[in-house]
Amino acid sequence: AQKVTQAQTEISVVEKEDVTLDCVYETRDTTYYLFWYKQPPSGELVFLIRRNSFDEQNEISGRYSWNFQKSTSSFNFTITASQVVDSAVYFCALSEARTGGFKTIFGAGTRLFVKA
């Protein structure tokens, strides 16, 4: 069975602080995909990144970076120098390759508050 755990329910930081959102996953498959989505107050889910299970290279995109470690089954997301516009709920998700998108499992989300 697959599972995604986002242990941090809410995080509050002051602008310009760095913040890391944790994501731990469980799967028995060897080929899978991991995702992060951002959901601002307006409600839409915005796709941020996908990593596949055989690519453990960390990725950086502007102030965003992702750390994928198969040894600890984690896919953490760091925002550097946070801004008020980063305030949102962030979802981590897991999809086993063989199942298509139908069995994508989303974590419960981490609500990030960035105060000015």
Query: C-alpha dihedral over 48, 94, 51, 102, to 10 degrees?
Result: -80
Tell me the pairing of strands 64-69 and 59-61.
antiparallel
**Residue 30 interacts with other proteins (CB under 8 A)?**
no
Q: Which of 28, 54, 61, 102 binds other proteins (CB under 8 A)?
A: 102
Residue among 40, 29, 25, 48 nearest 83 (CA): 40
Give the C-alpha separation, 57 to 66, whole Å. 9
Query: How does DSSP classify residue 85?
Result: G
Q: 16 or 56: whose CB is closer to other proteins? A: 56
Pick the stretch among 17-25, 42-50, 59-67, 76-84 that binds other proteins (CB under 8 A): 42-50
**Residue 91 interacts with other proteins (CB under 8 A)?**
yes
User: Under the rule (CB under 8 A), what is the footprint of other proteins?
Assistant: 33, 35, 37, 39, 42-47, 50, 52, 89, 91, 93, 95, 97, 99-102, 104, 106, 108-109, 111
